[in-house]
Amino acid sequence: MKPFFVYLLRCADATYYCGHTDDLELRMQQHATGRIGHTAVRKPVTLVWQGGFEKREEALAFERQIKGWSRAKKEALIAGNWPEISRLARSRQLGGEGTSPGQSALRQAQSERCGERGGGVGTVALADQTLIDGVLAGQRRALAKAITLIESTRGDHQLRAQQVLNALLPHSGQAIRVGISGVPGVGKSSFIEALGTWLIDRGHRLAVLAVDPSSTVSGGSILGDKTRMETLCQREEAFIRPSPSAGSLGGVAEKTREAMLLCEAAGFDVIIVETVGVGQSETTVAGMVDIFCLLQLPNAGDDLQAIKKGIVEIADLVVINKADIDPRATAVARAQWKNALHWLRPASPLWHPPVLATSALKREGLTEFWQAVEDYRAVLTPGGEFAAKRQRQARAWMDQLIDSGLRQYFRYHPGVRETLPELIQAVEDGRTTPTAAARALLGRLRDK
């Protein structure tokens, strides 16, 4: 369904304009060239924030809410700084910010409408506090609802999701995060089912998430068919979540990262992220887990293919699955893999990726697998490498979000929108170079 937008513009005199529309592009054009209210004489204007809503009424309600916000709070919204919005809302309530009777009436109405605890705009709504408490209590239903909230593309949901995440973030980070990858049919789901039950029997709680590039295209999901995880699905100590099916791989990965944090806050101490061995998704998953495991079939030739694709470099552990089918071929494959890995520079001098053999079907090799995972953590923790890897990942994640935010800012910048079609044509016609065009467009970002 086409979303309904609420947006904020920064005007030439540094004031803000808040509006709503069902056609953002057209509306931005009208602001750039037309005589729309406050923006008529304050050009140029820059789109600095937008939120999509499914229903018009919801968008209008949120717009009314923002219009009552202070400048500082609007700037916190633009920066996505929800703790600051909450803080400002609280300080305002205590008389910290100047208020007029009209504003306080609006605030009162907002508190009632949102059912907020403490009455401040931006604080966690009562329903969401119940959700947070449910997640912290380890309730799977609450966890599922919280993940649905972060996966939602609705603007108001995204705002609430960030509040829920902020509240839960201090409770995350305790789990071991394991990535499982491999070509379709190698036995990933069967392996996770076998390992998961094995871990639960030993007192662990396990969450399984998926990053599935095909789901972003087809709407399907590698875990959509949960039949191979039948036993696991029924266990109270397991939580299985298919890949979100909307958006780009980047978007899906972002949601999966956030879902992972929620699972940790819910007390799951093992998080498995499954991905199919296709394209960019493996690198993406390797960038969000502590240990990345590559499942392989026991037939020669596979190893060379993986090496070519550059996947071996990011594998912390290689597993030859389906060892039961042909033990001899498995032994050969293990030797080949060990040899191939021997010539590669390991990501850490402390860890040389081991090559193991398993049978998901017969539930063999699971002890050795888990021992390797625990060894990995034990070896890399004392010198700080384990923590440093997570820090690097968090930093890279932030960088990615900044990149995509900047791209969006660029696309909606009025100066860019004005010149972009013309410059694209000029580049296509060979009248200007891509370098000159890019430089000119980036230069427009400096326009007031």
Ligand X SMILES: Nc1nc2c(ncn2[C@@H]2O[C@H](COP(=O)(O)OP(=O)(O)OP(=O)(O)O)[C@@H](O)[C@H]2O)c(=O)[nH]1
Alpha-carbon distance values, 4 to 30, 155, 273, 331 (Å): 17, 9, 33, 59
Q: Which among ligand X, Mg ion, none contacts residue 321 (Cβ within 5 to 8 A by kind)?
A: ligand X
Indicate the length of the chain as a whole number.
448
Contact 114, 121 (CB under 8 A): yes
Q: Is 182 in the site for ligand X (CB under 6 A)?
A: yes
Question: Using CB under 6 A, which of 31, 188, 257, 389 touches ligand X?
Answer: 188
Q: Are strands 46-53 and 4-10 parallel, antiparallel or unpaired?
A: antiparallel
Shortest Å, Cβ 225 to Mg ion: 8
Q: Which residue's Cβ has the minimum distance to Mg ion? A: 189
Edge-to-edge strand ranges of the sheet holding 270-276: 238-240, 206-211, 270-276, 176-182, 291-296, 317-320, 355-357
* CB nearer to ligand X: pick between 120 and 179: 179
Residues 31/9, Cβ–Cβ less than 8 Å: yes
Stretch that binds ligand X, among 78-86, 179-187, 379-387, 438-446 (CB under 6 A): 179-187
The strand ranges marked E within 34-107 are 46-53
**CA–CA dist 18, 362 (Å, integer):** 61
Our finding on whether 326 is near ligand X (CB under 6 A) is: no
d(Cα 51, Cα 439) in Å, to the nearest integer?
Answer: 29
**Whole-angstrom distance, CA of residue 396 vs CA of residue 6:** 29
**377: nearest Cα among 269, 256, 285:** 269
Q: What are the distances in angstroms from CA 120 to CA 58, 63, 342?
A: 19, 16, 60
Distances (CA, A) of 337 to 324, 348, 373: 18, 18, 18
Is there binding between residue 322 and ligand X (CB under 6 A)? yes
* Cα distance between residue 319 and residue 337, in whole Å: 10
End-to-end CA distance of the chain: 35
Least spacing, CB of residue 274 vs Mg ion, in Å: 7
Q: Which is nearer to ligand X, 164 or 211 (CB)?
A: 211
Among 54, 84, 269, 324, binds ligand X (CB under 6 A): 324
Binding-residue pattern over the window 338 to 377 for ligand X, x denoting contact by CB under 6 A = ---------------------xxx----------------
Q: Which 220-239 positions form the footprint of ligand X (CB under 6 A)?
A: 222, 228
Residue 414 near ligand X by CB under 6 A = no
Closest residue to ligand X, Cβ-based? 187
Handedness of CA 18, 22, 25, 28 (dihedral sign): negative
What is the distance between the alpha carbons of residues 64 and 6, in angstroms, rounded to a whole number? 10
* Residue 231 near residue 201 (C-beta atoms within 8 A): no
Name the residue nearer to Mg ion (CB basis): 152 or 321. Answer: 321
| 186 binds, options ligand X, Mg ion, none, Cβ within 5 to 8 A by partner type | ligand X
Contact 3, 24 (CB under 8 A): no
For the CB of residue 394, give the shortest distance to Mg ion in the complex, in Å.
28
Q: Does residue 241 touch ligand X according to CB under 6 A?
A: no
Least Å from the CB of residue 189 to ligand X: 3
189 binds Mg ion (CB under 5 A): yes
Would you give the binding string for Mg ion spanning residues 149-188, x where CB under 5 A is met?
A: ---------------------------------------x
Nearer to ligand X, 187 or 213 (CB): 187
Closest to ligand X by CB, 178 or 266? 178
279 binds ligand X (CB under 6 A): no
Residue closer to ligand X, measured from CB, 152 or 321: 321
- Chain residues binding ligand X by CB under 6 A are 182, 184-190, 222, 228, 276, 321-322, 324-325, 359-361
Rule CB under 5 A: which residues touch Mg ion? 188-189, 222
